[in-house]
Amino acid sequence: MDTPIRHDQEPPLKGVRSNIVQSIRAYRVSDLQEAAQGLGHHFLYANLAEAQSKQDVLDLIGAQFTLPSHFGKNFDALYDCMTDPLHKSGPQPGFIVVLEQIPAHVKFDKEAREQLLDIFRDTADYWGDRKIPFRCFYSFR
């Protein structure tokens, strides 16, 4: 059901830069999904709670973002799927991405987490260069 945005409320994502990767902190996933809908942006969500390894993380993102079957399941392929093909498919209104429960343990260590977030930072820069909003929110488990 569409909930109209009341004009006496703060606009969705007020104060959040249009091209950023940041902790989800005070935002709820449902609020971010509503904000995406209200802004006419794509909403991409991946719950990574079941992931144990880098491959698990990539498999879950690929499945939950419904990336093409040729998705190579590595960080370079993830970046490629998040940028150029979408750009070539026509005008894009913007993106709100949620990566929830990124693993934080030995098999997916700090370096792997930073590599993953760097892909989304690079993707935010890519879309920013094209004046397309790309906001990514994440949480660790």
- For residue 25, what is the DSSP state? T
Share of the chain above pLDDT 70, in %: 92
- Kindly state whether residue 66 falls inside one of the protein's structural domains: yes
pLDDT of residue 85: 80
Number of domains in the chain: 1
Q: Which residue has the tokens 């949620």?
A: 98
- Kindly state whether residue 7 falls inside one of the protein's structural domains: no
Residue 69 pLDDT exceeds 60: yes
pLDDT of residue 10: 59
- Kindly state whether residue 83 falls inside one of the protein's structural domains: yes
Torsion angle of C-alpha atoms 138, 133, 55, 47, degrees rounded to 10:
40
- Kindly state whether residue 103 falls inside one of the protein's structural domains: yes
Whole-angstrom distance, CA of residue 45 vs CA of residue 65: 7
- Kindly state whether residue 99 falls inside one of the protein's structural domains: yes
Domain that holds residue 27: 19-140
- Kindly state whether residue 68 falls inside one of the protein's structural domains: yes
Helices (H), the chain: 29-39, 54-64, 75-82, 84-88, 110-129
- Kindly state whether residue 5 falls inside one of the protein's structural domains: no
What's the CATH code of the domain at 57? 3.30.370.10
pLDDT of residue 136: 98
Handedness of CA 86, 71, 137, 34 (dihedral sign): positive
Instruction: Tell me the mean pLDDT in the region 17-29.
Output: 94
* pLDDT tens digit sequence for 47-58: 999 999 999 999
* pLDDT tens digit sequence for 110-139: 999 999 999 999 999 999 999 999 999 999
Mean per-residue pLDDT over the chain, rounded: 90
Number of neighbouring beta carbons within 10 Å of residue 103: 22
Share of the chain above pLDDT 90, in %: 76
- Kindly state whether residue 9 falls inside one of the protein's structural domains: no
